[in-house]
Amino acid sequence: MDTARKDYARANPASAAAFAKAKASGIAGGTNRASIFYSPFPLTFVDAKAATAITADGQHISDFLGNYTAGLFGFSPQPVINAVTRAMAHGHALGGAPNTLEATVASALIERFEAMEMVRFSNTGTEANTYAMNTARAVTGRSKILMYTGAYHGAWIHGGDLALDIPYEKILVPYGDANHICQVIEENASDLAAFIMEPVMVNPWVYLKKIAPAPYLKQIRKACTEAGCALIFDEVMTSRLAPGGAQELVGVAPDLTTFGKYFGGGMPFGGFGGKRDWMERHDPTHAQTINSGGTFAQNALSLAAVDAVLSDLWSPEQCREHNSNADKFRDQINALMRSLNVPCQAYGSGSLMTLIWQRRPVICDTACIDENQVLDVSKHKAVSDAAQLFWFYMLKEHNILAGSPKLNYLTLPVALETVDYQNFLAGIKGFAVTYATELQQLSDVTR
C-alpha cells in the first residue's frame, strides 16, 4: 500500500496541486464532499464524456463508480444536455411560480412506482429522506426514527452516532433478524414515527446492495402496519434496479418512497412520495398542512433533465436490459475469481455491486436467506487494504476507476462499452498475477 500510494502521488502532480490550491483557498479540508476524500489526495477531473473522465494529469479513465449512482448515464448524456439547453432559453431561473414540467415529471414517476399516489420534489436524496421522515413524524405525531446500524441515508442521516446528524431520537437495529426488529417496532410503537431503510442487505463496513429477501421485508412491513408507523424505502440508489424500484422486485409496498441521484442525469434532483394518507398534509389547503417547500425544489433545469431521463434514457426496457447485463458481468467476475483462486467475490443486485476481498462467503446459501441473515464480513485490515490496493492497481495499469479507494463499490453506468468490461476482467487477471503472494496471505486470514 505504501508503494502504491507513492506511485499514485508521483503520477498525479496536477491533482495534488489542485487539492493543495483548494485547501489554500479556504475550502474546509480541501473538498466539499468528504466521502470522496482519500489519502494522499483525491483525483481532480477536468473533462469527461460518456463513461470516460480526464484527470488534471491527462489520464483517460473508464468510470465504474458512476458517482455512487448519480452518474448512471455517464458524464454527458446528450438528451439531458439538449433538454437543459432548451430550458435555459426560457428562463433557467424560473421560480416563484409553478412550471409545466412539474406535472409531467410527477405523472411519469407515479406511473412507475405503484406505491405512490402523490409526490414532492427536492434537490437531493438527503433532502428527500429528511422530508420523508418529517412527513412521518407530522402525520403520526410521534418522534422516534428506526434505522439499521451502519445505514447511510444522506449527508446528515446515519445509522450511528456522528456529530453531524439528524437531531431525532434514533433507534438502531442490526440488519438480519426480522423477529428482533419486529419486537423493537412493537415495543416502541407508541412513539415510533418511521422505520427508514434501504430494501437491501446492510452491513456497517461495506455497501452491500443485494436486495433483502422478500419474506424478511414482508414481515417488517406487517409489523410497521400494526404499529401505525411509516415504512420508508430509501430508493435513492436502489430504484435503478427495476422500473418500479427494488420494491417491485420483492413485492413489498412501503408507505413512503424516496428517490434521486440518477433521475437528474447529472443535475441535482431528489423526491419522495407515497399514498395519499401520508402525503396529503403537504397540500397548502389541508387543514393540518405542514407547509413544506424549497426555493429550488421545482427548478426548471433539473425537471427538464428528469423529463429527458425518463423519456429518452431510462425506459422500463432500458432499465431491465442494463441490470440484466450487469448480472451477467457480476457472474463473469465471480467465475474469473474462482478460476484464479482469488479470495474475492462480487455481491449485489443488478447494476449495483461490491467486490469483497475475503475467502469465506459473506452470504450463506439460499437455503438460509429467509427471515434471518447474518452477513459475515471480515473486519481484518487486509480486507480493506486489498480493496484499496486493487483500486490503485486498476487506475495505474488499466485506466479504470474501480469504485473508490476505500471500497470497490461499482455502480455501473449505462455508458460503459464492451471494451471497458473486457478491460476490467483483464485487470483482475493482472492483479491476481502481480499480487499472488499477498492474495494467498489474504486467503489464509479470511477463511
CATH 1.10.8.50 fits 78-313, yes or no: no
pLDDT above 60: residue 366: no
- Alpha-carbon distance of 363 to 140, in angstroms, equals 36
Predicted pLDDT at 352:
97
DSSP conformational letter for 123:
S
State the pLDDT confidence band at 372, using cuts at 50, 70 and 90.
low
Q: What average pLDDT is seen over the chain?
A: 94
Mean pLDDT over 410-439 rounds to: 98
**What percent of the chain has pLDDT above 90?**
88
Residue 328 CB-density burial (10 A; 0-12 exposed, 13-18 middle, 19+ buried):
exposed
Mean pLDDT over 299-318 rounds to: 97
Task: Tell me how long the chain is.
Answer: 447
pLDDT above 60: residue 369: no
Residue 216, C-beta contacts closer than 8 angstroms, at least 6 positions apart = 178, 370, 371, 373
Q: Rounded to whole angstroms, what are the CA distances from 175 to 149, 150, 230, 352, 369?
A: 7, 9, 18, 19, 12
DSSP letters along 154-184, please? STT-BSS--SSS-SS-EEEE-TTBHHHHHHH
The single-letter code of the amino acid at 256 is L
**Is 328 one of the annotated active-site residues of the chain?**
no
pLDDT digits (tens, 9 = 90+) for 160-213: 888 788 889 999 999 999 999 999 999 999 999 999 999 999 988 888 889 999
- Pair type for strands 144-148 and 170-173: parallel
State the pLDDT confidence band at 390, using cuts at 50, 70 and 90.
very high
**Is 152 one of the annotated active-site residues of the chain?**
yes
Using DSSP's 3-state secondary structure scheme, residue 15 falls into helix
**Is 379 one of the annotated active-site residues of the chain?**
no
Q: Which of 175, 209, 234, 262 is catalytic?
A: 234
Segments of 205-313 assigned E as strands: 230-234, 256-260, 270-274
Q: Which of 152, 207, 216, 409 is catalytic?
A: 152
Mean pLDDT over 44-56 rounds to: 97
- Alpha-carbon distance of 107 to 118, in angstroms, equals 9
pLDDT digits (tens, 9 = 90+) for 108-155: 999 999 999 999 999 999 999 999 999 999 999 999 999 999 999 999
pLDDT above 90: residue 374: no
Where do you find CATH 3.90.1150.10 in the chain?
Answer: 2-75+317-445
Q: Which of 68, 148, 261, 262 is catalytic?
A: 261
Q: What is the pTM of this model?
A: 0.96
Predicted pLDDT at 35:
83
Where do you find CATH 3.40.640.10 in the chain?
Answer: 78-313
What class, spelled out in words, does domain 2-75+317-445 have in CATH?
alpha beta
pLDDT digits (tens, 9 = 90+) for 214-239: 999 999 999 999 999 999 999 999 99
